[in-house]
Chains A and B, each alone.
Chain A
Amino acid sequence: MKKMEKEESTVMRRILLGATLLALGTLGAARADAEDVKVGVVEGLSGPPAIVDFGESYLQGIKLALEDYKKNGGKAGIELIVYDDEANPQRAVSLVQRLLQNDRVSAVMGTVSSGNVMAFAPLLQRAQVPLIAGPSIATNITTDFIDQKPSYIFRCSMVEKYQIDKMLDWGVKNFDKVGLLHSTTGYGNFAAKAIEEGMKARGQELEAVEAAAPGVSDLTPQMIRLRDAGAGLVLNFHESFELPYRAMPRIGYTPVVAGNWGLSSQKVLDIVGRDAIEGTVMGQALDLSDPDAAAFDKRMREVYGSDYRWPVVAALGYDAGQIMFKAIDQAGSDDPKAIRDAIEAVDGIDAVSATPAKPFSSSDHECLNADDVFLGVWRDGQVVQLN
């Protein structure tokens, strides 16, 4: 008797639970109307200093773009849902799943680590929700999807291949011996492979290739190898950009260092020091001598004060935001497919970075072209164009 009662109550409980779940499901499924469009933003906002610098700067740009959109009388009520992926791929994937399933966003932007983007981009492509990636730079982020008509993956950021090409063109012309220092992470190994192939294509070879784990504290042995190989130019593709500089004074080695655009961060300047960073070369996509860029730089300084550190990344974030919000406006709904089509067709963008007025086409999902990337160099505590 007692047992039956118990069973009955379990059945009742199950029915109740089912009903509640159903109700919750319907509530969740009710899409917000066109007035209210949610855009998910995943950025690396904690973790290694360089990652945080990238993530915060890009997000500052997106936020300013949204402010401007509203100020200029944008029709859609756009809401940003911002998550921190801590530069961790598993976390990035689960955050994107949360954006899709719980928050029901119409589009996504982000993130810093290319590995993270590569991990969640297939999810978005499958769910048919558009992504404007950035500030990640791995070459294949958009090219991996461009053949899937239509591709939902766009990007507004530096492209690794472009900056490596520029750097190698310059490197083989100006230096007899080029060495490479890379990290043993996915990013570092990928960059190393691209550089080795690039050197071969230019009929040259790297004089020395050294690697280091992401968490190392001392690169003296590796730098000694590079010095003894006679490398006058050291390509620095380790995420801890500052590490190679530490070992140099103690072994009396003063090569020119060139690397990832991350080297242009204010943080690297603060850690490495003004004298040590002098002459370091990196990929760039924003020329502050351009009046528009200078005006943007001034405005960011006013809005964000000392939190604003990185013009080029903030500018790309701003342009990505401009494109996204204009596309949502033109799509006139929160339908992800309509927004995707609008992103691809968007025109008349007045970009701060070198992004053209009509950035995308069905065969090109990159904001920047190879020609928009140039080399920058640290001179007296500022990054200027290398000539």
Chain B
Amino acid sequence: MLTTFLQILVSGLAMGAIYTLTAKGLFIAHLATHRLNFGQGDFLMIAAFISMSLLLAGLPVILTLLVVLVALGLLGWALERFAIRPLDRLGARGGGAYSWILTTAGAALILQNVAELIWGKSAQYSPPLFSSGRDNVIMIGGVGLFVEEILVLVLSAVVVALFYWLLFRSKWGRAVYAVAFNPEAAALFGVDVKRTVVLVFVAASMLAGVSGVLVGPLVTVHPHMGLIFTIKALAVASIGGFSNPLGVLIGGLLFGVAEAFSNYFDSSFGDLYPLLFILAFLVVRPSGLFGEARKDVR
């Protein structure tokens, strides 16, 4: 019974780690600009497709990851430059404060169609990252783990730690917080606001890139796989409260584990319960796990 419990826990944690990485991108963009990319899941999809193509072409994993990071970084830059920044210039003529929802979701639709053109409409399988078969299992105390899952867990822990350090210890992190607090004041103190915002979107998009490379071999890859990841990442980020990197980590892992256990207890509605849980949670704590109920959560 204990091993069953641990086994479900572990497979839930692995999926939860993916949600965490994706949600991290939403969190960082929201923190700095109060905006986020409604196509975060579709960025992940593009990353999964690029990494699948490169792996199938025989490129080593490290090189694949690098190429994906560069490509997604560029995509993040383009998103900020063409879908978000022009709205600021337009101001009220740009349709008000929430136009970015439409432009980022629109960018997501474009990406889906581009993916259909390049890779076709069919679902495909990405080769495993480190082995020839799909059955490379490591047993730890009676619990079977795929090598890919261990990698997902380790990497997401590393990325979360790195982000924690970047945000709270580095100069860039302080710039992000300064811009988040008040862009004009930050500019007066010598912070390059534009550059900080661009970097935030590049980083967010790279996080989707890492998730895409990792999740590719675990699921079927197809042009419309992104939406469900966007939804789950939004749910996770809102448990985390959108303002605390640790909250996002805990929210992501909780969501993954809740999903795995709800599949164990009632598989017919496995996807339903975690989302219901979040709905109920947000009724009780609208500002999330670590969010502070303030007028402006920045």
Contacts and interface: CB of A to CB of B under 8 A. Distances in A.
A212 interface: yes
Contacts of B123: 47-49
Interface in B244-271: 260-261, 263-264, 267-268, 270-271
Given A47-B122, A86-B121, A222 B218 contact: no
A224 B4 contact: yes
B133 A213 contact: no
Contacts of A210: 267
Interface in A202-218: 210-213, 215-218
A249 interface: yes
B75 interface: no
A211 B225 CA distance: 20
Contact of B15 (A218, A249, A273): A218
B144 interface: yes
B161 interface: no
Q: Please classify the interface of chain B as helix (H, G, I), strand (E, B), loop, or mixed, using the class held by over half of its residues.
A: mixed
A251 B225 CA distance: 27
Interface of B: 4, 7-8, 11, 15, 120-125, 133-135, 137, 143-146, 215, 218-220, 225, 228, 260-261, 263-264, 267-268, 270-271
A224 B7 contact: yes
Given A213-B271, A217-B219, A48 B122 contact: yes
A318 B96 CA distance: 60
Contacts of A215: 225, 228
B264 A224 contact: yes
B24 to A, nearest CB: 20
Given A49-B124, A212-B267, A218-B260, A250 B144 contact: yes
A218 B220 CA distance: 11
A252 B144 contact: yes
19 contacts: A46-B122, A49-B123, A52-B122, A212-B263, A213-B270, A217-B219, A218-B11, A218-B15, A218-B260, A220-B11, A220-B260, A221-B263, A221-B270, A225-B264, A240-B220, A250-B11, A252-B144, A276-B134, A276-B135
A249 B144 CA distance: 8
B15 A47 contact: no
A276 B136 CA distance: 12
Nearest to B136: A249
B261 A221 contact: yes
Contact of A49 (B122, B134, B218, B263): B122
Contacts of B122: 46-49, 52
Contacts of B15: 217-218
A249 B121 CA distance: 31
A224 to B, nearest CB: 5
B159 to A, nearest CB: 20
A184 interface: yes
B145 A250 contact: yes
A99 to B, nearest CB: 20
Contacts of B134: 246, 271-273, 276
Interface of A: 46-49, 52, 86, 184, 210-213, 215-222, 224-225, 228, 240, 246, 249-252, 271-273, 276
Nearest to A208: B267
B121 A222 contact: no
A184 B268 CA distance: 7
A220 B8 contact: yes
A216 B144 CA distance: 19
Report, nearest first, the 10 A-B pairs whose CB atoms are least far apart.
A250-B144, A221-B264, A46-B121, A217-B219, A221-B263, A211-B268, A220-B11, A249-B135, A211-B267, A210-B267
A381 B135 CA distance: 17
A243 B37 CA distance: 31
B218 A218 contact: yes
A16 B137 CA distance: 73
Nearest to B121: A46
A246 B123 CA distance: 17
Of listed A48, A220, A246, residue having the most chain B CB within 10 A: A220
Given A250-B137, A251-B144, A273-B135, A222 B228 contact: no
Contacts of B228: 215
B145 to A, nearest CB: 7
Contacts of B8: 220-221, 224
Contact of B270 (A47, A86, A212, A240): A212
Given A46-B121, A249-B135, 20 more contacts: A47-B123, A49-B123, A52-B122, A213-B271, A216-B271, A217-B219, A218-B218, A218-B260, A220-B11, A224-B4, A224-B8, A240-B220, A246-B134, A250-B11, A250-B143, A250-B144, A252-B144, A273-B135, A276-B134, A276-B135
Contacts of A222: 263-264, 267
Given A46-B122, A215-B228, A225 B135 contact: no
Nearest to A219: B263
Of listed B122, B143, B215, residue having the most chain A CB within 10 A: B122
Of listed B218, B261, B263, residue having the most chain A CB within 10 A: B263
A46 B260 contact: no
Of listed B121, B124, B134, B267, residue having the most chain A CB within 10 A: B267
Contact of B7 (A49, A219, A220, A246): A220
A269 to B, nearest CB: 13
B135 to A, nearest CB: 4
A225 B218 contact: no
B135 A221 contact: no
Contacts of B120: 46
A211 B264 CA distance: 10
